[in-house]
């Protein structure tokens, strides 16, 4: 569906929006979430639900708390000193900040891809197999199978199948990022969090990564933080707009971009500030 | 704008015709755009750069000179010009004219320049002294089967020899004796023994501490532990040696019940005290400089703290840790004061509870007592050159190993 918006000065009119499956279930439930770094408040009382097997984009200007929110979903914020989190996040009905939750198990279910591609300085094969090996999987044929499957899913197999044992640091930036995605899906998570996964890539590599993300939607719930308006519009089904730690608006991507309720959202997506 | 138009390159034919004009244009250009080449456009930077170059050059030259000096003093042994035999052919003072000058010079162990400056009277006096000294050697020594052996010959320096009074060929370092015995092997083994022991104790402890402090400890612990461990490197080695001599030697003797109180084991433990801060500090730096993103990547895949540290961070820092070990090795093998205080007489054995004397301790203890220019003096310089060669070789091997590690674990060259 090609849309035409007269008011928007951006090139949104050429974007084909995703049509989300409206019937899909809620997977992640965020209730009254506030995050403090020391005394400063990064997220203020945010509540919204993320649906299963769709792509949800978190957008907003720098420092609006979108990355913080993303890192709350797999408790990566635990690693930071002085962080205080109130409210609840439940995944599939389980409060992930409850005392009995094992963070290690949680992170197996909620994978993450970072802004800067961070393959380990090991071989391509070892990178993908890492997540399985730390769980004690050492069976060679199983590993081979999973590595191939994950690399194929990440659309990287054909490029690296002849040099699986070469060091991953020798890959190009885009390949490294796809390798990180392969590494994340090798352990079969339910949710994949992506923190600006294409911000350090050139347009061609970005296009490939976006294609890959879209193809992953079938099997995974994806939450993606992005600075790139067009990217959010192109790939996501739902979009949440954050501003200064508050959730301003959350709706289908099409609505957010074409007729947002809030003035601030409209200003941001049309590039009037940000 | 005007100058810009001048910049446009003129067709080459044109250029030749108007050579003088071109020069003027260039001058214009230089003034307007600041395109002045040469060192003097920024004289201060030029001077600073050359100064830094000189300083770094000085370091290289200094190392070269040190080695050249040590090598020069040891050279006569290489050429077989030193003779340490107890009984030597005596040149009588009255025969001074019968022998060629070169022979007399060698006989007296004089350098060329010194020999030239010396008046004949002095030479005759020196010959008299030598002859006198020779007369005073007791008859019993003169009849020793080894009395005419030049013990600075390579054969005696590295191979075992059955000296008179011994029932089998032995390696022995006994430089102060009627028949001085200069076998290097006990010293080399002493050095290797204590150094390896020191490294063996120091490396696991310091690398483990570095992993803990940089990866596993809470930041508050890290802030206290790191400077305290590094403070150790400030302890003078004579203090460590003193402590080892008085406290550790007795303590270990009570535990292990060995016979010789001062031995290679105690020296190894004491050496490790001086090596630990170095290995710790450098490997901690290597581990801490592994990008945080690797650790986060590992956590995001469900690694525990320990898995991330051991399987991701340590391999990524392995070349740095290896470099730390190499530096520790250099410190251990070159350490003098500790081993001098803690070890005893040289023994040709790998037993760690036996006495040991290292190359460095031998040089330090004996250099003050040798006859200047004599065989023992030259031998000590040769030992110095040997030590230099050892560390140099170890460094070269280590550098190539570090490069290999880098390639394998970090994907860079």
Residue B326 has pLDDT above 50, yes or no: yes
> How far apart are the CA of B285 and the nearest CA of chain A, in angstroms?
18
When comparing pLDDT for B96 and A261, which is higher? A261
CA–CA separation, A17 vs A252, rounded Å?
A: 10
Confirm whether the ipTM is greater than 0.90.
no
- Cβ contact, residue pair B298, A120, below 8 Å: yes
Nearest CA in chain A to B292: A118
Positions in chain A short of pLDDT 70? 1-15, 20-23, 273-274
Return the domain boundaries, chain A.
11-269
Share of chain B above pLDDT 90, in %: 36
Q: Which residues contact B351 (CB under 8 A, 6 or more apart)?
A: B264
Tell me what pLDDT residue B61 has.
95
Q: Which of B219, B296, B410 sits opposite A169 (nearest CB)?
A: B410
Q: To the nearest whole percent, how much of chain B has pLDDT over 70?
A: 89
Comparing alpha-carbon positions, the chain A residue that sits nearest to B293 is: A118
State whether A121 and B296 contact (CB < 8 Å). Answer: no
CB contact under 8 A, A76 and B293: no
Bridging pattern class, strands B181-182 and A94-95 = unpaired
DSSP notation for A194-205: EESTTTTS-HHH
pLDDT value, residue A133: 92
- Taking the model in full, what pTM does it have? 0.80
**A11-269 maps to which CATH number?**
3.40.50.300
CA-to-CA dists, residue B314 to A28, A64, B7, B201, B317, angstroms: 36, 35, 57, 19, 5
Q: pLDDT tens digit string along B145-196?
A: 777 778 888 888 888 888 878 888 888 888 888 788 888 899 999 999 999 9
Which tops the pLDDT comparison, B291 or B39? Answer: B291
CA-based torsion, B253, B257, B263, B267: positive or negative: negative
Residues in B closer than 8 angstroms to A81, CB to CB, are 219
Which region among A214-223, B115-124, B362-371 has the lowest average model confidence (pLDDT)?
Answer: B115-124
pLDDT tier, B18 (very low <50, low <70, confident <90, very high otherwise): very low
Does residue B58 surpass a pLDDT of 60? yes
> For an interface test with A, which of B295, B297, B314 has the most A Cβ atoms less than 10 Å from its Cβ?
B297
Between A and B, how many CB-CB pairs are < 8 A?
A: 74
Q: Which of B302, B306, B318, B410 to mutate to test the interface with A (most CBs of A within 10 A)?
A: B302
Residue B236's Cβ-count burial label (10 Å; 0-12, 13-18, 19+) is exposed
Distance CA A261, CA A254 (A): 12
Looking at residue B35, its pLDDT comes to 59
Q: Report the range out of A203-207, A226-230, B344-348, B357-361 with the highest average pLDDT.
A: B357-361
Q: Do A120 and B302 touch (CB under 8 A)?
A: no
Cβ A76–B296 below 8 Å, yes or no?
A: yes
Residues of chain A contacting B291 with CB distance shorter than 8 Å: 118
Q: How far apart are CA A260 and CA B21, in angstroms?
A: 68
Give the pLDDT score at B27: 60
pLDDT of residue B26: 61
Question: What is the sign of the dihedral through the CA atoms of B268, B273, B278 and B284?
Answer: positive
Predicted local confidence at residue A204, as pLDDT = 85
Q: Is the pLDDT of residue B21 over 70?
A: no
Q: Which two tokens stand for residue B43?
A: 């004289």
* Sheet with A40-51, side-by-side order of all strands: A40-51, A26-37, A83-91, A94-95
pLDDT value at residue B10: 44
**B301:A184 CB<8 A:** yes
Residues of A with CB under 8 A from a CB of B: 74, 76, 79, 81, 104-105, 107-108, 111-112, 114, 116, 118-122, 130-131, 133-135, 167-170, 180, 183-184, 187
What's the rounded mean pLDDT across residues B214-224? Answer: 90
User: Dihedral angle at the C-alpha atoms of B138, B143, B144, B147, nearest 10 degrees?
Assistant: 80
CA of A107: which chain B residue's CA is closest? B302
CB pair distance less than 8 Å for B301 and A104: no
pLDDT mean across residues, chain B = 84
What is the per-residue pLDDT across B224-266, written as a single tens digit (0 to 9) for each?
A: 999 998 888 889 999 999 999 999 999 999 998 888 888 889 9
8 Å CB contact of B409 and A108: no
The per-residue pLDDT for B23 is 55
For residue B346, pLDDT beyond 70: yes
pLDDT of residue B60: 93
Query: B23-32, B80-89, B120-129, B358-367: which range is least confident on average?
Result: B23-32
């Amino acid at each position: 569906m090609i849309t035409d918006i007269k008011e928007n000065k951006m090139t949104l009119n050429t974007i084909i929006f995703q049509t989300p499956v409206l019937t899909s279930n809620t997977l992640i439930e965020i209730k009254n979430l506030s995050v403090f770094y020391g005394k400063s408040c990064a997220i203020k009382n945010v509540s919204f639900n993320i649906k299963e097997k769709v792509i949800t984009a978190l957008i907003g200007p720098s420092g609006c708390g979108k990355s913080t929110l993303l890192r709350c979903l797999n408790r990566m914020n635990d690693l930071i000193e002085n962080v205080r989190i109130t409210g609840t996040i439940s995944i599939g009905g389980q409060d992930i900040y409850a005392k009995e939750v094992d963070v290690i198990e949680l992170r197996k279910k909620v994978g993450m891809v970072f802004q800067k591609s961070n393959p380990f300085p090991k071989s391509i094969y070892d990178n993908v197999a890492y997540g399985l090996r730390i769980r004690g999987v050492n069976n060679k044929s199983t590993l081979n199978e999973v590595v191939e499957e994950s690399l194929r899913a990440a659309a990287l197999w054909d490029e690296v199948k002849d040099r699986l044992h070469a060091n991953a640091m020798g890959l190009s930036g885009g390949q490294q990022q796809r390798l990180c995605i392969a590494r994340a899906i090798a352990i079969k998570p339910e949710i994949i969090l992506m923190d600006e996964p294409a911000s350090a890539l050139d347009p061609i590599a970005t296009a490939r990564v976006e294609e890959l993300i879209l193809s992953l939607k079938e099997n995974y719930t994806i939450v993606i933080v992005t600075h790139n308006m067009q990217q959010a519009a192109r790939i996501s089904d739902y979009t949440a707009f954050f501003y200064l730690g508050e959730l301003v608006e959350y709706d289908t991507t099409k609505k957010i971009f074409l007729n947002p309720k809030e003035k601030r959202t409209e200003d941001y997506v049309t590039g009037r500030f940000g | 704008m005007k100058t810009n138009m001048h910049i446009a390159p003129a067709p080459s034919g044109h250029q030749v015709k108007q050579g003088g004009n071109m020069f003027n244009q260039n001058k214009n250009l230089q003034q307007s755009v600041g395109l002045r080449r040469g060192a003097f456009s920024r004289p201060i930077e030029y001077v600073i750069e050359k100064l830094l170059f000189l300083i770094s050059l000085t370091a290289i030259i200094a190392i070269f000179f040190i080695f050249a000096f040590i090598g020069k003093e040891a050279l006569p042994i290489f050429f077989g010009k030193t003779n340490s035999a107890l009984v030597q052919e005596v040149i009588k003072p009255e025969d001074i004219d019968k022998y060629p000058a070169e022979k007399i010079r060698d006989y007296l162990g004089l350098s060329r320049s010194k020999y030239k400056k010396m008046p004949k009277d002095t030479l005759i006096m020196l010959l008299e002294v030598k002859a006198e000294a020779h007369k005073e050697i007791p008859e019993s020594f003169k009849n020793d089967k080894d009395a005419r052996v030049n013990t600075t010959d390579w054969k005696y320096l590295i191979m075992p020899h059955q000296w008179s009074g011994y029932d089998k060929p032995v390696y022995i370092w006994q430089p102060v004796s009627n028949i001085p015995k200069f076998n290097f092997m006990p010293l080399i083994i002493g050095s290797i023994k204590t150094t390896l022991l020191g490294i063996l104790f120091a490396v696991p402890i310091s690398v483990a501490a570095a992993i803990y402090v940089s990866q596993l400890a809470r930041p508050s612990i890290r802030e206290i532990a790191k400077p305290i461990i590094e403070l150790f490197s400030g302890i003078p080695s004579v203090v460590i040696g003193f402590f080892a001599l008085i406290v550790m030697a007795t303590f270990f003797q009570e535990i292990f019940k060995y016979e010789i109180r001062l031995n290679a084991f105690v020296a190894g433990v004491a050496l490790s005290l001086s090596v630990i801060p170095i290995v710790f500090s450098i490997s901690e730096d290597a581990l801490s400089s592994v990008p945080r993103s690797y650790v986060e990547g590992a956590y995001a895949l469900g690694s525990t703290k320990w898995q991330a540290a051991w399987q991701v961070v340590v391999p990524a820092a392995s070349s740095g840790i290896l470099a730390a070990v190499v530096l520790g090795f250099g410190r251990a093998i070159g350490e003098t004061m500790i081993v001098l205080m803690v070890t005893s007489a040289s023994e040709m054995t790998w037993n760690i509870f036996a006495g040991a004397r290292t190359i460095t301790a031998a040089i330090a203890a004996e250099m003050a007592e040798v006859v200047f220019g004599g065989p023992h003096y030259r031998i000590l310089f040769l030992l110095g050159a040997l030590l230099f060669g050892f560390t140099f070789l170890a460094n070269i091997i280590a550098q190539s190993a570090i490069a290999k590690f880098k390639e394998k674990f970090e994907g860079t060259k």
